[in-house]
Structure 1
Amino acid sequence: MKQIKIPAAFIRGGTSNAIVFHERDLPEDRAAWDAVFLAAMGSPDPNGRQLNGMGGGISSLSKVCVVGPPSHDDADIDYTFAQISVRDAQVDYSANCGNMSSAMGPFAVDESLVEARGDAALVRIHNTNTGKIIHAKFALDDGQADRGATWAVGLVLNRCEGTGRGCRADCV
């Protein structure tokens, strides 16, 4: 199989991890996304370990997020969530992940998709899976999401061991 390079980020949101892609970097044909996501995660893996990818062998560590320009006037970004099966070649777009939803606002600010000033930000996120708008509210430090002392794994939420600053995500 030919290898291709696609820029991505590996981000923690609460008790979950996900590979986050910019929509602009993925194939225009969304039918081709599944193969990209499965390969990135190392699925399917009949042994359930996902050693050939970045998945962690359990559902909370086998997620993909895609962020793109908003398709709704009341949103700053569009966000698509994909749950990747560990053992099977299946990608599920029918649900959402609250933990990863809360990480998309800070990602959008840090990637300069949304301009933020002051000491706090509000990013309006259109979840394409559910059609819902999510408001992510979080602290800023010099125009970037304030992660406290935690940088190694990206955004984290309060009350998780080894965390930084929190992010409140409200479905409106």
Structure 2
Amino acid sequence: MFGTKMRSVIKLPGDGVGSVVEQQFGLARQILVTGLVPIIEPEVDIRSPRKAEVEDQLKAAILAQLDKLGDDQSVILKVTLPEGADFYREFVDHPRVIRVLALSGGYTRAQATTLLARNHGVIASFSRALTEGLSTAQSPAQFNAVLDEAINAIATASRT
């Protein structure tokens, strides 16, 4: 059974990154004792002028916290699509991580699926990218066609 998610948005590198991760893992431990699986969601603002630096700091902080979890404790991570290919591979392979999900984070569907396809073992958790192009003014056939196209593109990118 799964628990709740804790979401934070990080804009710049600094001491706050580690504090956010500590806070989220503190809440995760409270959720774990109830038998639920926490979903940890430290989102990096895709418009950050120092996004890559934030990602480096975030990755190090998360790995440190993952290594503190017990053998019977696992989490799900929801992260912003990174700048580099396979950047979060250590999370995908970590024994305390059930799954790594990627947020579309404001990227267009085309951008998000391109970035996702470069990150093997990570799957999509795209709401904005999924609904891109959908409109109440569309006929049911048009709506379904746009939605089918979105689902296929996202599913294909998630299969890497």
Using the size of structure 1 for normalisation, the TM-score is 0.36
Is the helix fraction higher in 1 or 2? 2
Is the strand fraction higher in 1 or 2? 1
